[in-house]
Every structure is written in structure tokens, then in C-alpha cells.
Homo-oligomer: A and B are copies of this chain.
Amino acid sequence: MVENLLTIGQLAERAGCKVQTVRYYEQIGVMPKAARTEGNQRRYGPRHAKRLAFIRHGRELGFPLDAIRNLLGLADNPNHSCAQADHIARAQLKNVESRIIRLRALKAELERMIVQCRGGTIADCRVIEVLADHAHCLHPHDTGAARQASRTNGATNRALRSA
């Protein structure tokens, strides 16, 4: 190895991502074009490594690449106010909070499903039942019409081409 430069494989390993991911980042422009050896292979210095760490860390925090692109843009001219960075982070925080709330509800429901599924047959398995049941639905949609329809269950398929 020459001059302490990293190959793409070494860079990727350090950042905890795949080689293809690094190439992808270069392709979409969040990573700059790498320098090349005479044999056309990419070589990376510490600045690349830092930038990639920044990107990966942002991704791990759930920021979309677009937001990361913005943050990188902000970081590139450091005399700027950080109001925008703050704004991006706050938006992300809201996002994360709502995901947590939803996931907690999901967790409770899954636990209920599992507790109630005690090795019987599917016919009385709560896992299936809970999933099928509107009453447990997080989405506040209509229930009345579906039940109404299910009362008129017998005569449906007239005026139909095929069933």
C-alpha cells in the first residue's frame, strides 16, 4: 500500500458498509470522485474517510441521503448559521418520536397475539384473528360499511363477468 491511502474495500470496512455502497455514494454525488491509481482503482485519503463516516452515521440516525446532502453542504461553509442544521435535526427527531410511538403500540399488540396463541389450531389462533380484526386497527378507517356488506353475504355475483 502506498502513501497511507485506502482502497475502496478498506474504506468500506472502516465505515461499516459495502464497497458497492461507497461507489453508489460517489455515483449520486454525496461522496466526491475518488482519486485513481494508474490501474484505475480508487484510492481514498482521510478526508474521504471522514466524509463517509459522516454519511454513514447520518444514515444510522435515520436521516435520508437528501438531508445528509444538505448537512454536508452546510458543513462545507462553516460561517453559516446552524439554524438549518437544527431544523433538519428537529424534523428527524419528530420523525423518530412518531416511529417510537407506533412501534410501542405494535409491540403491545404482538405480545397480546403471542400470549393468546397457545398451541391450538389456526381456527382459534389470535395471531391471525388480531390481524384480521378491524377493532385493533391503528388506522381510523370505516368499519360500518364493511360489516354492512358482510350481512348481505349470499347474493353477490350477479352482474359479474367472472368470479
The A59-112 residues at the B interface (CB cut-off 8 A) are 60-62, 71, 74-75, 77-83, 85-86, 88-90, 92-93, 96-97, 99-100, 103-104, 106-107, 109-111
Cβ contact within 8 Å between A122 and B57: no
In the bound complex, CA of A75 to CA of B29 (Å): 47
Contact of A159 among B3, B15, B92, B114 (CB under 8 A): B3
Give residues in A with beta carbon < 8 Å to B. Answer: 2-6, 10, 13-16, 35-38, 40, 43, 45-46, 49-50, 53-54, 56-58, 60-62, 71, 74-75, 77-83, 85-86, 88-90, 92-93, 96-97, 99-100, 103-104, 106-107, 109-111, 113-114, 117, 119-123, 125, 127-128, 130-134, 136-142, 145-146, 148-150, 152-153, 155-163
Residue numbers in B under 8 Å from A150 (CB-CB): 46, 49-50
Residue numbers in B under 8 Å from A75 (CB-CB): 122, 128, 132
A161-B38 in contact given A45-B156, A110-B96, A128-B75 (Cβ < 8 Å): yes
